[in-house]
Structure 1
Amino acid sequence: MGNNNSSLKHKNKKIETNKEIDNKTTELEEKKELKYYIPNNYDDIDRVHMFHFLQRYIFQSNFSSPIEERLMQEKCKVLDVGCGPGTWLLDLANKYEKCVFYGLDNNPIFPNEIKPGNLNFIKAGMFDGLPFPDNEFDFVHQGFVLFVVKADQWNFIISEMIRVTKPGGYIELLEPFSSFRGFGPIVRKIHEAHLASCSERGVDMKVLPNLDKIIKSNQQTPIVYKEERFFISGPNGGKVGTAHEDIYVGYHDNDAAMENLSPILGISKEKYKIMITKDLVEELKHTSPEFSLLRFWAKKINNN
């Protein structure tokens, strides 16, 4: 997996990051495809915000890459690929005022007016290549895209992240994972329904714990670090578990989720609603389903 070919492929649509970007105000766009897995309303966005602060608490940091000192002292460029509403970037941009931050997402739910002056958002997709020159960013981050990246797209996306990273800079990925340990029958059914739904679209969630192998296959990132933090969802997991339960239940208690998952589960929409709002909540009181968050990070070397 090299990155020379991808840089040639996208040379005609590069964005110069030292120029001011015109961020026009946009409204939420309805997505016909993947409308369950992509935030489409303000409740979804609130849950993305909540997930950000949950992962920050679990890791006690916003990132694992050893780049804190550089962010504090230097004028670094940071990119978040698939930034969603920009919560991660907003958090960092307010803390590291010397740095310049860029968020990229094809779903324009990020703020365009009320944001720090060192933060720019760009409406663009990641599947056609990142619209930036080679060796542009000191830190390139991506988080929580497991439901939308197909198995055969990971190599290209990671290659692009590495391509736009400066030698000596870092790439980092964050994804949730579940091992089925401690799952009750309802949580297990929901998880298996997700697996089936993803499989229909070519998304293989089993790839997630092995992303380090994909990163290592690039000659410019031969050493990859992996950090995993476990937690219990529900009341038996303490404050973290209660917070995750709110996110988990809310994530499934909406019309888009019901439309997507109830046919896979073989139940009516009415029964699905009861299962999520009553049966699932009751099950979490008596079980301890284990989930985890995975962070992968690597330093780009200059092998020229």
Structure 2
Amino acid sequence: MGCCCSKRYFEEENGTIGYRLINGRRYHTLSESAYFGANDDEEAYRLSRYHDAIKEIWGGLFNSPVEEKLSNGARVIDIGCGSGIWILDMAQRYPKSKFVGIDISPILPTENLPPNVKFIQYNVLDGIPCEDSSFDLVHQKFLVGAYTESQWEEKVIPEIIRLARPDGWIELLEGDIIISNGSVTQRVARALHDFMKSRGLYANIGKEVPRMLERTNAFSEIRNQHKIIKLGKKHGKSSEETLRFFTSGLTSSRAGLSAWMNVIPEHYDALVETVSIEAEKYSTQFDQYRVCAHKKI
């Protein structure tokens, strides 16, 4: 399918696997990766569970005008594909198209894959092992915690542009730090923001992506969409799932964030539970941004 992988990214020089277990969860140990969430089966389940809610919130699997290309046979790559659920859903809907999923974590599907799907465990920061101008659609979502600000500018966006064909589309979906009147939620959100900043991560990357793309002068059109999601059961199923997605993400980040906040893991879990309670009480707000950009011919 036009891609090859030169090395397995989780094999270090001494032949050991580059992860560690903390309180029963598995985490990266790669020094060049700023990602601080877990990379285990529980995290894969978190990502897969939120898939249907994303479709409801955004009205489908993608917003770029590529339906006709996909129906006739296109090439698509999903960067940071996680559990691979988006790729597998797309592959079933568009059997004439070919799909590649890339992720640094060892949570990719390996069995009973459709013939039009390929998954590669690899780090995008090394440069994706695919040829220039290979894809009609380059897709990426929820990697705010994966790349530093300089990595976005110097590596990720240039790599995305390299992979997209002239007249192709790229589509990026990101969320920003939540907004709430709840005192505990505010405390946790501030800690998360500061922790990410300490690692060079940009907590509000969603609203910055369009400007980053504009500065490249590589696109003839950039479409920016913004959704404000009120969290909690009273706002509907997708809002309930978004709250669960956010709080389970906090749980996934327990190892780093509890130490940053100087609280024991049990206290941290209690704070996360209070975030859920306050979301129902105050209708905590979570912003998402979807950017579709058309690469120049």
Q: TM-score range by the shorter chain?
A: 0.7 to 0.9
Paired position in structure 2 for 1:68:
67
Cα distance change on mapping 1:176 and 1:147 into 2, 3 Å: same
Q: Is structure 2 residue 232 aligned with structure 1 residue 234?
A: yes
Q: Deviation per CA, 1:169-227: give whole Å up to 9, x if none.
A: 101101112462x4411221121111111111111223330211111122221421101
Secondary structure in structure 2 of the residue aligned to 1:205: coil
Match of 1:154 among 152, 155, 158: 152
Paired position in structure 2 for 1:8:
none
Cα distance change on mapping 1:51 and 1:203 into 2, 3 Å: same
Moved over 6 A (4+): none
Mind listing any 5+ residue stretches in structure 1 that lack a counterpart?
A: 1-14
Paired position in structure 1 for 2:53:
54
Match of 1:269 among 257, 265, 276: 265
Offset at residue 28 of structure 1 (A) = 10
Q: Which amino acid aligns with 1:262?
A: S
CA–CA distance in 2 between the matches of 1:81 and 1:266?
A: 33
- What's the RMSD between the two structures over aligned residues? 2.6
Maintained 8 Å contact 2:2/2:134: no
Cα distance change on mapping 1:298 and 1:32 into 2, 3 Å: same
Offset at residue 299 of structure 1 (A) = 0.8
CA–CA distance in 1 between the matches of 2:35 and 2:121?
A: 20
Q: Which amino acid aligns with 2:278?
A: E
Maintained 8 Å contact 2:233/2:240: yes
Paired position in structure 1 for 2:42:
43
Q: Which amino acid aligns with 1:32?
A: T
Secondary structure in structure 2 of the residue aligned to 1:223: strand
Maintained 8 Å contact 1:236/1:287: no
Moved more, 114-123 or 88-97: 114-123
Q: Which amino acid aligns with 1:95?
A: R
Q: TM-score, normalised on structure 1?
A: 0.83
Q: TM-score, normalised on structure 2?
A: 0.85
Count of residue correspondences = 279
Paired position in structure 2 for 1:16:
2
Q: Is structure 2 residue 29 aligned with structure 1 residue 32?
A: yes
CA–CA distance in 2 between the matches of 1:37 and 1:266?
A: 16
Q: Is structure 2 residue 258 aligned with structure 1 residue 259?
A: no
- Residue identity over aligned pairs, in percent, reads 27
Offset at residue 247 of structure 1 (A) = 2.2
Offset at residue 20 of structure 1 (A) = 12
Maintained 8 Å contact 1:227/1:296: yes
Secondary structure in structure 2 of the residue aligned to 1:70: helix
Maintained 8 Å contact 1:103/1:122: yes
Mind listing any 5+ residue stretches in structure 2 that lack a counterpart?
A: 12-16, 20-25
CA–CA distance in 2 between the matches of 1:206 and 1:244?
A: 17
Equivalent positions of 1:1-304 (< 5 A) are: 16-17=2-3, 30=26, 31-32=28-29, 37-72=36-71, 74-155=72-153, 156-178=155-177, 180=179, 182-253=180-251, 257-277=253-273, 279-302=274-297
